[in-house]
Amino acid sequence: MISLKTANSGLCLTFGKLTVLQHGINNPCLSIGRGQGTYSMDRGNFTIEENLSEKIPLTEYEILEQKEERVIIRFSNQKLWAVIVEFIAKGNFLEVMFTDESSTKQNRLWIRMTAAHDEYIYGCGEQFSELNLRGKKVPLWVSEQGTGRNKKTYTTFQADTAGKGGGDWYTTYFPQPTFVSTARYFCHVEDSHYMEFDFRNPSYHELAIWGIPPKLVIGTAPTMLALLEQLTGYLGRQPELPDWAYDGVWLGLQGGTEIVLAKLKKAQEYGLKVTALWCQDWQGKRITSFGKQLMWNWQYDQNMYPDLPETIRRLNEKGVRFLGYINPYLAVEGHLFKEASEKGYLVKNKAGDDYLVVSTTFPFGTVDLTNPEAVEWIKNVIKQNMIGIGLSGWMADFAEYLPTDAVLFAGDAEELHNRWPALWAKANREAVEEAGKLGEVAFFTRSGYSGTSRYSTMMWAGDQMVDWSLDDGLPSVIPAALSLGYSGFGISHSDIGGYTSLFGVKRTKELFMRWAEHAAFTPIMRTHEGNRPDDCWQFDSDEETLLHFARMSKIYTKLKPYLKEAVKENALRGIPVMRHPYLHYEDDKELSTLKYQYLLGRDLLVAPVIEENKESWRVYLPQDTWVHLWTGQEYGKGYWEVPAALGFIPVFYRKSSPYRGLFEEIKEI
C-alpha cells in the first residue's frame, strides 16, 4: 500500500512501513539533467569523466493520481523540465516508472531515497573491498577489477603507472545497480547506464544515473532472507550444479595431454580427489610479456591435445570430467575471427571496421552479442567445438571490454557496455540448454550485471593477486562472495592461490595452503596455475602441499550432501551458499560490518585465516551453540581466539544441525 502525505509544500511517500521518498522545495527527491561522459579504456580499465551541462532539481510537484496501489506524481521545474513518476504497488514490490517530459531530452537522473541513520547497505554486485557500503559512493561500471585495488599500495602504484591497471576499492567485473538495506528493503534500477550510488548522506541515498531509467523496483519483506528470496525471484536464480561438481577438485592444469595426465596421475597417487581437469589451454597458447596466455580461437588445439575427444572419453570413464575455456573475443590470428569478420559478426568501430581491442598484449575482435545471427554463430561454436567434443564445462571469461564508442548491430554501446556480461552469460546458457546439457555442463563467469543471476551457472572471483592483501588478495574473495549473495547471485568460488603474479609478487606455499582450506568450504574447489605458473607455488610443488591439498579435497567431497542442499536452496529460494551471517542473525548488529567470515549453508560458520604466520585466529560467533569442527569444543556468542594451525581453518557447526554426524566425521580426515 502506497501512502502519500503532504505538508508545508513537501511530500512524503511510504510503501507499507517503508518511507521511500521525502520531497521538499529545499530537498527535492528528483533532479534531472544533461551531460556527456567520456570513457577512456586501457585494457579493461576505465577512466570516466563527466561534462555536465545542466542539472535541474525538480522542486515542484503535482499529484496526478492517488490510489492505494497506484500513485502518479509529476515532478517539475518551471515549464521546461518534468518527469512523470508512476508508483505501482504489486504485493511486496513497488515499481517506480519514470517518464521524462522535459522540453529537451534529458539524460541524467538523480533520485534521493530516504535513508535511516542506522541503516547498513549491501550489494551493488561483487564488491571486493567493502561489504557495508554505507558511507561510500559506489560507481557502477563493468571493468577489470584492477591489480592491487588500493591507491596506497605499491603494487597498485606499479600497476597504475605500467598501464592504468591498479584499480580502486570499487572497481569490479560485476557491478549491479541493486542494493539491500538492513531496513529490510531492496532497491534495483532497471537500467545499464553508468551510475553512482551515493550512500554517504545520513538522510538520503542518492542514485545518480547517466540515463533516464525506465524503472526502479523496490521490495520489502519481514526478514532479510525473505527479502533475498523476493529479490532473486525478480532477478532470476541460478540452477543447481551438476552432481559431479562436488566429487573433488576442479584441477587447473596446462601444457597438453601428456603433461596434464601425468600431473593427474601423481595427484591421484597422493589421494587427491579430482572430479575435473580444467585445461584453459585446450585451445592453444602463446607466450607474451604478461606470461603464458591463451590462443583465443575456440577449438581444441590438435598439437597440444591430439584427439582431445578421445582423451575426454577415457577420462570420463574414470570419473574425471574435462573443462575448457572461452571468452567473447576472437584473436585476429584465428580462423574464427576471419569467419566472424567475413560474416559481419564483430563489433565495429565508427569507421565501419572491426573494432580491434587489446587485452593484456594482443589484439582481438568482439562478437557482437546484439546481433542474433552472431549469437547463434558463437552458440554453435560452443555447442560444436566445446560441448560437442565432450567438455563438461568451461570458464566463460571476460566481457568487460566493450568500448563505449563501438558501433553495434543494435543499440548504443555506452548503454550496453554494462549489459555485455549478461549477454555473454545468456549466450553460454542457451548453448548449454539447447544442447540439452543443463545440470550436466556448468560454466563459470567472471563479469556480470543485472541478468547474470538469471543466465550464468556460477561465478568465480576473477584475478586476485597471489598475496594476502585485503583489497586484491585472498581476503578480498570473501566480501566478493557475500556482496554477490546480497545482489542475487549465490554460487561463487575463486582461483585457489589467486591468479596475478606481477611486480615480483609470487604465490607462496602458505598462501596456497590457506586458500585451499578456504576453498574446501566454498561451493567449488578449483585451482589455477596463475598467469606465471613458474612464479607460483602449485598444489604439487612439494609433498606436504600435495598431502594437505588431498586432505582438503576429501573434506570438501565429504560435504557434498550438505553443499548440494545449500545449492538447491539457492536455486529454489535465492539464499546464497556462502552467506553473510547477518542474514540469519538480524538482531546482531556486530555482524553487520564483519566481512571476512561467512556462513556456508545454514550450519557452518567459516572464518578463513587471511594473514600470514598465524597459529590462532579471532572469530565472532553469533547467538547459537557452535561446535569447533576440529576439536569439538563448544562456543557461545562472542569473540573467541581459536587455534588455527595450517590445515585447520576456523570452522564451526551449529550443534543443532541435522548434518552434525557428517561434520563430526570431517575431523577424522
Q: Which stretches of the chain bind a copy of itself, using CB under 8 A? A: 31, 33, 52-57, 77-80, 151-152, 154, 157, 160-161
Contact 443, 452 (CB under 8 A): no
Q: How far is CA 492 from CA 114, 178, 204, 378, 484, in A?
A: 32, 18, 32, 25, 8
* Bridge pairing between strands 458-460 and 357-358: unpaired
DSSP 142: B
Give the residues across from 364 on adjacent strands.
Answer: 331, 357
Half-sphere exposure of residue 269, counting CA atoms within 13 Å on the CB side?
8
Minimum distance of a copy of itself from residue 54's CB (angstroms): 5
* Shortest CB 208 distance to a copy of itself, Å: 10
Helix (H, G, I), strand (E, B) or coil at 401: coil
| Residue number, 397 or 467, with CB nearest to a copy of itself | 467
CB of residue 102 to a copy of itself, shortest distance in Å:
12
Q: Which of 144, 505, 140, 142 is closest to 358 using CA atoms?
A: 144
Q: Name the residue nearer to a copy of itself (CB basis): 156 or 293.
A: 156
Closest to a copy of itself by CB, 6 or 53: 53
| Rounded Cα–Cα distance for residues 518 and 527 (Å) | 12
The pairs formed by 347-356 with CB atoms below 8 angstroms and a separation of 24 or more are 347/402, 347/406, 347/407, 347/408, 347/413, 348/406, 348/407, 348/408, 349/405, 349/406, 349/407, 350/405, 350/407, 352/407, 355/403, 355/406, 355/407, 356/332
> Please, what is the angle between helix 257-269 and helix 543-558, to 10°?
80
Q: How far is it, in rounded angstroms, from Cα 306 to Cα 203?
A: 64
End-to-end CA distance of the chain: 55
Strands (E), 136-267: 137-140, 175-181, 185-190, 195-198, 204-209, 215-220, 249-252
Instruction: Identify which of 67, 71, 70, 99 has the alpha carbon closest to the alpha carbon of residue 83.
Output: 99
Nearer to a copy of itself, 45 or 492 (CB): 45
C-alpha span between 220 and 185 (Å, rounded):
4
Cβ–Cβ under 8 Å, residues 521 and 604: yes
Q: What is the largest CA-CA distance in the chain?
A: 79
Lookup: cell for 351? 569507421
Closer Cβ to a copy of itself, 57 or 574, answer by number: 57
Residue closer to a copy of itself (CB basis): 102 or 366: 102
Q: Where are the beta strands (DSSP E) in 43-107?
A: 45-57, 60-66, 70-77, 81-90, 93-100
* Number of C-beta neighbours around residue 203 at 10 A: 11
Measured distance CA(578)–CA(570) in Å, rounded: 10
Distance CA 35, CA 55 (A): 9
In degrees and rounded to multiples of 5, residue 38 shows phi and psi of: -120, 135
Across-strand partners of 599?
579, 605
User: Given the complex with a copy of itself, which of 34 and 437 has the nearer CB atom?
Assistant: 34
Name residue, grid cell 560444436: 384
Instruction: For cell 543443532, name the residue.
Output: 656
- Which C-beta is closer to a copy of itself: that of 196 or that of 569? 196
Q: Kindly state the smallest distance separating residue 55's Cβ from a copy of itself, in Å.
A: 4
Which residue, 63 or 80, has its beta carbon nearer to a copy of itself? 80
Nearer to a copy of itself, 152 or 318 (CB): 152
Nearer to a copy of itself, 161 or 203 (CB): 161
Which residues does 70 contact at the CB level (< 8 Å), separation at least 6?
A: 2, 86, 87, 88, 89
Under a CB-based contact definition with an 8 Å cutoff, are residues 630 and 648 in contact?
yes
CB 153 → a copy of itself: shortest distance, Å? 8
* Minimum separation from the CB atom of position 183 to a copy of itself (A): 23
Catalytic residue positions, numbered: 397, 400, 463
DSSP state of 533: G
Q: Which of 456, 328, 449 has the alpha carbon at shortest distance from 397?
A: 328
Nearer to a copy of itself, 54 or 540 (CB): 54
